[in-house]
Amino acid sequence: MVNKLIDATEAKVGVSIILDGAACTVKKMDISKTGKHGHAKARIEAVGVLDGKKRVLVVPGHERFEVPTINKNKAQILSISGEMASVMDLENFETLELPIPEDVRAEVELKPEDTVEYWDVEGSKVIKRKL
């Protein structure tokens, strides 16, 4: 459900865009000047919101990118089995099975009854941090 399109020159640091079919957050942005007969070029370095992969590309300044819809929700952990957690959304009490990313597992120890923040990025849900 992409609602908005932006030009490459509008993709500032911290903005989320879709690159290679994945939602990414822009970490670095460089715009070159226009030439005598050419267009401005934008060099974008971005990191995937869900997978953490770094993506770098150079595009014309008038290239358009989709801006993904990211919903941030709170949930309580019901149980943990391996890399998956069973959580209950604190707004609508829906039970979900969500993956726990490697960086979250390394940062904090999650246990049942902890409150976490999970992100819904274009239909894909993942736990992002412990509250």
The model's pLDDT over 53-82, given as tens digits with 9 standing for 90+, comes to: 899 988 888 888 888 888 899 999 898 888
Number of independent structural domains in the chain: 2
Q: What is the pLDDT of residue 131?
A: 85
Averaged pLDDT for residues 16-29: 89
What residues contact 90, with CB distance under 8 A and at least 6 apart?
73, 74, 75, 76, 115
The CA-CA-CA angle for residues 83, 92, 78, to 5°, reads: 30
pLDDT score of 99: 85
For residues 4 and 26, give the distance between their C-alpha atoms in angstroms, rounded to a whole number: 16
Query: The CATH number of the domain where 42 resides is what?
Result: 2.30.30.30
Residues 6+ apart with CB under 8 A from 99: 83, 84, 85, 126, 127
Domain enclosing residue 25, as ranges: 4-67
What pLDDT is recorded for position 127?
A: 86
In this structure, the answer to whether residues 43 and 74 fall within a common structural domain is no
Please answer whether residues 24 and 47 qualify as being in contact, where contact means their C-beta atoms are separated by less than 8 angstroms: yes
